[in-house]
């Protein structure tokens, strides 16, 4: 099975190399493809001849698994999810032979498998549920093989939290994202995009459970980090400002919402977003609604003053 599989992968990669040279459309490093072909060939040869001792075979199996993981990741980045999944499955089979059941190397590939399911299943809850199961399995292994504050544990918690958020399971999302943020702050601090992304997701979860003050704090802290790293007039900053506006709108603080929507619209225009973009439409409609209502109230007030 594995030997035949590696020979098939060699053929796949040789075809991929020819396509790469001809079309120049695949950005996987040629060194990764070449290394994979070389390791595949030597692995198949070793397996067929049984010529190496067990330590050499284990080392070669690990090298082969690493090459497979790298190929799967390259294909995943190019959105070639079906091919990526095939490499991941074979990679996992090799890693299970070469490593202990609770080794971090297994968790890394299981996590990649989860990400593939997640991207494939944007509108398919069966695949999203598979992704969640794989993320939970990766977390289980990492909690056994890593220290309690390891960054990879935070990565798994963020992935699980975001799936819960998308499934509208907001309390579970809050629990996962709070723990992830605690680890991120302990390991890499607050002033980085990774922590800012967790803050944005946690803000959304807080907003859904009506913990508005906590949500607003998350958004403001995330915005401060994004503005420092990226600059103020950037799309990620406008997205957070827009979300703050929506929160104010939800809590009936229309003047604050108006202020923030105008700020978001200014950035949307600077970066050239289309008028029919949903975020632009929502902001524009709200600004127009508040402006019209304010003008109507002013007319009513002026009329009543004249009558008196």
Q: pLDDT tens digits for 25-54?
A: 445 556 555 555 555 555 554 554 444 456
Is residue 232 over pLDDT 60?
yes
**Average pLDDT score over residue span 120-148:** 94
Locate 12 and state its tokens.
Answer: 């796949």
Backbone angles phi, psi at 243, to 5 degrees: -70, -35
Range from 5-9, 120-124, 179-183, 293-297 carrying the lowest mean pLDDT:
5-9
Is residue 267 over pLDDT 90?
yes
pTM above 0.75, yes or no: yes
Q: With helix as H, strand as E and coil as C, how does the chain read?
A: CHHHHHHHHHHHHHHHHHHHHHHCCCCCCHHHHHHHHHHHHHHHHHHHHCCCCHHHHHHHHHHHHHHHHHHHHHHHHCCCHHHHHHHHHHHHHHHHHHCCCCCHHHHHHHHHHHHHHHHHCCCCHHHHHHHHHHHHHHHHHHHHHCCCCCHHHHHHHHHHHHHHHHCCCHHHHHHHHHHHHHHHHHHCCCCCHHHHHHHHHHHHHHHHCCCHHHHHHHHHHHHHHHHHHHCCCCHHHHHHHHHHHHHHHHCCCHHHHHHHHHHHHHHHHHCCCCCCCHHHHHHHHHHHHHHHHHHHHHHHHHHHHHHC
pLDDT, tens only, 165-216: 999 999 999 999 999 999 999 999 999 999 999 999 999 999 999 999 999 9
Is residue 96 over pLDDT 70?
yes
In Å, how far from its chain's centre is CA 176? 15
pLDDT tier at 122, thresholds 50, 70, 90: confident
**Cα separations (Å) of 242 from 162, 245, 255, 281, 287?**
20, 5, 14, 12, 12
pLDDT given at position 291: 86
Higher pLDDT, 22 or 186: 186
């Amino acid at each position: 099975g594995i030997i035949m599989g590696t020979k098939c992968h060699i053929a796949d990669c040789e075809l991929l190399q020819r396509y790469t040279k001809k079309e120049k459309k695949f950005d996987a490093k040629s060194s990764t493809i070449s290394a994979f072909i070389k390791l595949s060939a030597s692995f198949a040869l070793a397996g067929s001849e049984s010529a190496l001792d067990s330590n050499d075979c284990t080392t070669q199996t690990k090298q082969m698994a690493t090459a497979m993981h790298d190929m799967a990741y390259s294909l995943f980045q190019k959105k070639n999810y079906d091919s990526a999944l095939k490499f991941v499955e074979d990679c996992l089979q090799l890693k299970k032979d070469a490593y202990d059941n609770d080794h971090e190397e297994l968790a890394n590939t299981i996590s990649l498998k989860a990400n593939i399911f997640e991207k494939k299943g944007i509108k398919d809850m069966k695949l999203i549920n598979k992704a969640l199961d794989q993320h939970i399995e990766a977390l289980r292994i990492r909690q056994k093989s890593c220290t309690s504050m390891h960054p990879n544990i935070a990565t798994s918690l963020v992935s699980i939290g975001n799936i819960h958020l998308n499934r509208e399971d907001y309390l579970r999302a809050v629990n996962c994202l709070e723990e992830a943020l605690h680890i991120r702050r302990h390991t890499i601090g607050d002033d980085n995009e990774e922590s800012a992304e967790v803050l944005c997701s946690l803000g959304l979860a807080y907003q859904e459970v009506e913990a508005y003050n906590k949500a607003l704090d998350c958004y403001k802290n995330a915005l401060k980090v994004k503005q420092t790293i990226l600059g103020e007039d950037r799309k990620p900053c406008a997205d957070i400002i827009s979300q703050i506006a929506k929160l104010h709108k939800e809590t009936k603080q229309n003047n604050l919402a108006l202020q923030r929507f105008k700020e978001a619209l200014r950035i949307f225009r600077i970066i050239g977003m289309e008028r029919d973009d949903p975020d632009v439409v929502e902001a524009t409609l709200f600004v127009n609604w508040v402006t019209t209502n304010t003008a109507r109230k002013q007319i009513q007030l002026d009329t009543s003053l004249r009558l008196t």
